Amino acid sequence: MDAGTRRLVRERARERCEYCRLHQRNSEFLHHIEHVIARQHGGSDEVDNLALACHRCNLHKGPNLSGVDPLTNAVEILFHPRRDHWPEHFEFRGAYLEGLTPARRVTVEVLALNDARRLELRQELLALGELT
């Protein structure tokens, strides 16, 4: 992937993880350029299939495309940053990130968006007025 593509993805995301919304300046690791649909599932290197993801989101997501909704036990697709509008599917309730639809609850579970470390970091960011 060339430097121009990496720059475009970072600028489009405004240097924020497109899944959990963690800003690059609040992360100890460089955010990754990830394939929304993994290459092994036929995903391409086209910019419409690329997203900016913090290291935790990227590592938890891996090549996954779906998961099981913890409330309905139905298989649902994961949030797709190019097709889905984040505020329609997620909401911060304090430091807790809630999925508002079945597919987004799956995303919260698969990407472990409310694990202990993420909640701790969000609490710190809330106290500093930096969680948006």
Predicted local distance difference test score (pLDDT) of residue 70 = 86
pLDDT digits (tens, 9 = 90+) for 42-78: 999 999 999 999 999 999 999 999 999 988 999 999 9
* Number of domains composing the chain: 1
25 falls within a domain: yes
Residue ranges making up the domain that contains 78: 3-127
36 falls within a domain: yes
Rounded CA gap, 130 and 24, in Å?
Answer: 12
46 falls within a domain: yes
> Where is pLDDT greater, at 103 or 15?
15
pLDDT at 132 over 70: no
132 falls within a domain: no
> Where is pLDDT greater, at 35 or 132?
35
Predicted local distance difference test score (pLDDT) of residue 131 = 76
62 falls within a domain: yes
pLDDT at 104 over 70: yes
15 falls within a domain: yes
pTM of the model: 0.93
89 falls within a domain: yes
70 falls within a domain: yes
Q: Which amino acid is at 47?
A: V
